[in-house]
A and B are shown apart, each in its own frame.
Chain A
Amino acid sequence: MSNIKNNKNPVEDIFSDPIKLALFIVGSVLVMTILIAFGSFRINSTHGSLALLEPPNPLELKGQEVYYQEGCQYCHTQTIRPIEAEVKRYVNEKSYGYFRMPDINEYQYETPSMRGSQRIGPDLARIAGSNIDSKDSLRSVLKGKSGLLSGIHHNYGYLFQSSFDMEPLFLSWKIRMMMQTRSKFSDNYQKSVFDALEGKTRGDALVAYLLGLGRRQKDFAGSYFK
């Protein structure tokens, strides 16, 4: 024990006791993560996209839940790489204005973030303005009846069969929990969930969510910059 007290080298001190080492590992990862999460982000900047501060329709919020529960993020990304071909392909300035990238505010009501890591299928960041920008087209793709992978794409037709598992109560609680973590929803928004989900299926919610991807940029920010 006396050796430990006399040791002035902090690294050797940490490596002299298992409890100190465990606390060092836990503490350093925790502190650095907190610094990054809270110190480096300034969301809700007023530049350019004030219109984006409006929350999405509750049906879209439910749709995002369906999106990740069904595992869509393992085949589709929602981000545009900053290389020429990608920007040209996904960002048409006639539709979207001169935004080269999605705006950081666009994602602020979305949790977890659905950026994805692999393109087994096409990127979905900009469905708005694309050739499947309609309810019927998307329903058809999800049911495996059309699209370039129609023979292989998993048939999600069961999502459209019943409104039994929409669980509006749990969505309203989810919104309440998100309000606890600084998301800017209101009490009225939380109440509106029950009407918005009435008679809808999980498939309808997923279609609403997909149709919303890129919509804000197209409708608001693009118009602003024109």
Chain B
Amino acid sequence: MELFNKLIATTQKIENTIKASAVCGMLWIVVALILGLIAQLQLFIKIPLPFGYGLLRPIYTSTLLFGGLLSLFNAAIYYILYKENNDTFVFSPLAFIAYKLQQIAVIAGIVTILLGLNKGREYGEFTYISDHLLILSLLITLIVSILNIKKSGQLTIKSSYIIATVAGMLIVYTIGNAGLPFSPYASVSLFTGMQDQAIQEIYRIGVLSFFIIMPAITLLVVFVPEYYDVELYSEKMARFHIVASTLILPVAGAGWLAGTVAPPLLQTLGVFAYFSFFVAILAGILNIHFTITKSGKKFQSDPLGSLLRFGGFLLMIYVLVRLIFITGFLRDYSDYTYLNTRDLSQDAASYAILILLAVSFYYFQKMNDHTFSQKSLSSLLYIGGTGMFIILIMNTIQGLAQGANFLQLDDKREIVEKNWVNILSSGSGFTIDIKTTADFLQVYLSSFRSLLLVGYILVLVSVLFTTVAFIIAIRKSKNDGYQKPNLGI
């Protein structure tokens, strides 16, 4: 009984959980971006590492999604619920357990991938042990969120977004990673062949929706009205976004099966559902846009506001690109190139980072009742934003050039450009006859691909700068949540 009372009564520890989760999120993002940079370099430069692109790439994406973004999102929703409940948070030890489980799951997942135990599903590479820990963490987060909302007495549209996002994360991750264990560390999917491919595509669009887009929109829906002191433009629009995107999501996943040997009816339905799915998401984005533009107020262009608007703009661009490149020839032309609408890491490393970092920054500032230097946010906006824009533009240009490369055949029906390094650096306007390893570096540095490298470095530097500023601020924080133990010596 005493334990139960403690579970309900303790509220002070949630601040520690929020801080720890936010800092972990930032550190995971920095680790992920460094790994992503090394993985990109490995395609052109021989780096003496025991791990090839095949191991670094899944660690990069999983760390970014399930370590970085998820930790930041959890920190933000705990803070939102804490404030909605007038600075109280019930069952805060459970939130702490969920945070710990998530961190252990990600660390265990990375170690197992490095040991060559990749489960083989994109964005679902962790072994079933990590999966179970992460699912448990998400389940606890959902339960804690529901309990806190129940205590507040009303389900506002902010709370609805939180519940929808966490519930979506839980079911999508469970479906995408369900398997039967056949060894102490490995499991096998419940499906085979194209049926399994369909589940993979549902999982992929589920991760895009619930782990990237919905968290970003959730935080914008909470933040924008609060920051600018306006009402959300339309609650009905918000509800439409949640209901429509959830109902359509599994069929929309089949849109990515178009052009395969999957059943034709499923492919056709999939493409239509894919359109509807992104239109529903557009409704969610436009709701935030209208909240700002139709409130009749004048807004200051401070770094935080500009950062979030730029994040929202990038989100809209990515959604529109997906809408355009699902149709017929454009889809087939861009498939498997750098202009790859299936690649979620680009979304995760652009607008999602901007929005989640900015909101975490803002909430942390409020939690500790002091202000930061705006330089950190300005660096994220100008340096990081420039990097993200370069990545988007370069991937689009190079993707189109790669698509053209794939279309050019010689008399023997072989691709004209025989050297894959030249295909990887497509768009440079010239090719180099590669004979030695040093030539690879020359090709790389003289190609458009090197500009992409600049983009990656800019994003990494800006996030690193923000993270350091954040950690310094925490160390200077007046609110000392953690007390050093008194050993009585």
Contact = CB atoms under 8 A, between A and B. Distances in A.
Interface in A1-46: 11, 14-19, 21-22, 24-26, 28-30, 32-33, 35-37, 40-43
Contacts of A112: 119-121, 189, 196, 200
A28 B436 contact: no
Which residue, A70, A74, A107, has most C-beta atoms of chain B within 10 A?
A74
A28 B246 contact: yes
Interface string A61-105: 000010011111111010101110110110010000000011111
A71 B52 contact: yes
Contacts of A24: 243, 246
A148 interface: yes
B332 to A, nearest CB: 5
A18 B53 contact: no
A115 to B, nearest CB: 6
Given A29-B168, A41-B263, A167-B183, A104 B199 contact: no
Contact of A18 (B55, B149, B250, B337): B149
Nearest to A68: B120
A82 B261 CA distance: 10
A152 B43 contact: yes
Interface in B179-207: 180-183, 186, 188-200, 202, 206
Nearest to B143: A22
A89 B254 contact: no
Nearest to A154: B52
Given A17-B155, A152-B43, A173 B55 contact: no
Interface stretch (B67-75, B169-177, B347-355): B169-177
B192 A183 contact: yes
Which residue, A115, A156, A170, has most C-beta atoms of chain B within 10 A?
A115
A103 to B, nearest CB: 6
Contact of A72 (B54, B121, B159, B163): B54
A196 interface: no
Interface stretch (A119-127, A132-140, A208-216, A218-226): A119-127
B20 interface: no
A106 B239 CA distance: 43
Nearest to B267: A40
Contacts of B293: none
Nearest to A152: B440
A72 B116 CA distance: 12
Given A25-B171, A71-B52, A112-B189, A120 B43 contact: yes
Nearest to A182: B192
A70 B115 CA distance: 10
Contacts, number: 260
Contacts of B12: none
A37 B253 CA distance: 12
Contacts of A22: 142, 146, 163, 166-167
B191 A181 contact: yes
A160 interface: no
Q: Give the interface SS of chain A, mostly helix, strand, loop or mixed.
A: loop
Contact of A37 (B182, B183, B191, B440): B191
A79 B260 contact: yes
Contacts of B440: 151-152
Contacts of A148: 418-421
A50 interface: no
Interface in B151-171: 155, 157, 159-160, 163-164, 166-168, 170-171
Q: Give the interface SS of chain B, mostly helix, strand, loop or mixed.
A: helix
B489 interface: no
B180 A177 contact: yes
Interface in B413-429: 413-415, 418-421, 424
Interface residues of A, number: 83
Given A32-B249, A89-B414, A121-B420, A151 B175 contact: no
B343 A118 contact: yes
B436 to A, nearest CB: 7
Contacts of B171: 25-26, 29-30
Contacts of A181: 180, 188-192
A170 B434 contact: no
Contacts of B186: 170, 174
Interface stretch (B302-310, B404-412, B459-467): B404-412
Interface string B25-56: 00000000000000000111110000011110
B259 interface: yes
A170 B182 CA distance: 6
Interface of B: 42-46, 52-55, 57-58, 116-122, 142, 145-146, 149-150, 155, 157, 159-160, 163-164, 166-168, 170-172, 175, 180-183, 186, 188-200, 202, 206, 239, 242-243, 246-247, 249-251, 253-254, 259-263, 265-266, 329, 332-333, 335-337, 340, 342-343, 402, 406-409, 413-415, 418-421, 424, 434, 436-437, 439-440
19 contacts: A18-B150, A33-B250, A36-B253, A69-B118, A71-B53, A73-B54, A73-B122, A83-B333, A101-B260, A107-B261, A108-B192, A108-B193, A111-B196, A113-B194, A113-B200, A115-B197, A173-B183, A178-B192, A181-B190
Closest 3 CB pairs of A and B: A71-B54, A154-B52, A68-B120
